[in-house]
Amino acid sequence: MTMPFYVSPEQLMKDRADFARKGIARGRSVVVLAYEGGIAFATENPSRALHKISEIYDRIAFAAVGKYNEFENLRVAGVRYADLRGYSYDRTDVTARGLANAYAQTLGTVFTTESKPLEVELVVAEVGPTPGADQIYRLSYDGSVADEHGHVVMGGQAEQLGARVADAWHEGMSLAEVLALAVRTLGAVGADGSVTAEGEEREIAPGGLEVAVLERAGRRRAFRRLQGAVLAGLLDQPGDRDGAEQV
């Protein structure tokens, strides 16, 4: 009779966390930045159909890195959760906090009970009536939740890129400014996955970017994708070049 190997809980959790972290680090980063008029999301994604950034509800959006099939499943569940809640109560009763909790419980349960953790990292963001009321929640593969203030970087090299964004980001930036910062951050990861020095970032054409915003003012549905000429125009504003030179 063979005895099963004893694996300590610490080792088990560490192995799972390493596994999930490795899967997540392989993907390209997503940058989430608050600006004066809302919250902007950007990632390098040449696909026009397979999105990493999506609308969940009127003022709530979702961004993810990691395995597509896993976060797509969570996204659909989030849309169902939000629509069902809004239908049975009221549209105003759907909150990013509630959704983040549901995601956290789901990720946490899968991490501890199933044979493989979900290799995803999520951001659930809700734009409020004022910049102070904006909410950005970052959720990890193990179900831990962080309430972020103003900026998040997820995916490969998230720590190094996050530190750069933290230095450059400040309250009250315009949309063009945060988009320039986002593209600069995304461009800092080279083709081989290494982080380049500041000022030597790759150029990313607007066609290779997936960009969306939650707009504070205006329509009921705050989520809007920025594509084509609109995006190119925003990335090409003279103000940004000045901003880029200061870095």
Member of 33, 56, 120, 211 binding other proteins (CB under 8 A): 56
Q: Please list the alpha-helical segments (H only) found in the chain.
A: 9-26, 68-88, 96-113, 158-168, 175-187, 228-235, 238-246
Q: Which residues pair with 198 in a beta bridge?
A: none
b/e map of 202-212 (b: 16 or more CB within 10 Å)? eebebeebbbb
- Least Cβ distance, residue 155 to other proteins (angstroms): 21
Give the other-Cβ count within 10 Å of 135's Cβ. Answer: 20
111 vs 63: CA distance, rounded Å: 20
* 101 is an interface residue for other proteins by CB under 8 A: yes
* 22 is an interface residue for other proteins by CB under 8 A: no
Contact criterion met (CB below 8 Å) for 132 and 149: no
Member of 2, 88, 115, 194 binding other proteins (CB under 8 A): 88
82 vs 94: CA distance, rounded Å: 6
* 97 is an interface residue for other proteins by CB under 8 A: no
Which range of residues in 19-27, 79-87, 119-127, 149-157 is near other proteins by CB under 8 A?
Answer: 79-87
Member of 17, 26, 28, 81 binding other proteins (CB under 8 A): 81
Contact criterion met (CB below 8 Å) for 141 and 24: yes
* 51 is an interface residue for other proteins by CB under 8 A: yes
Q: How far is CA 35 from CA 49, 67, 115, 182, in A?
A: 26, 28, 40, 12
Residue-by-residue DSSP string for 87-131 = HHS-GGG--HHHHHHHHHHHHHHHHHHSSS---EEEEEEE--SSG
Q: Running DSSP on this structure, what letter comes out for residue 192?
A: T
Site residue total, other proteins (CB under 8 A)? 27
Nearer to other proteins (CB atom), residue 83 or residue 160: 83
- Least Cβ distance, residue 87 to other proteins (angstroms): 6
* 11 is an interface residue for other proteins by CB under 8 A: no
* 3 is an interface residue for other proteins by CB under 8 A: no
Which range of residues in 9-17, 104-112, 124-132, 229-237 is near other proteins by CB under 8 A?
Answer: 104-112
103 vs 76: CA distance, rounded Å: 12
* 142 is an interface residue for other proteins by CB under 8 A: no
* 73 is an interface residue for other proteins by CB under 8 A: yes
Q: Which 198-237 residues touch other proteins, going by CB under 8 A?
A: 221
Which range of residues in 31-39, 80-88, 127-135, 226-234 is near other proteins by CB under 8 A?
Answer: 80-88
* 83 is an interface residue for other proteins by CB under 8 A: yes
* 60 is an interface residue for other proteins by CB under 8 A: no
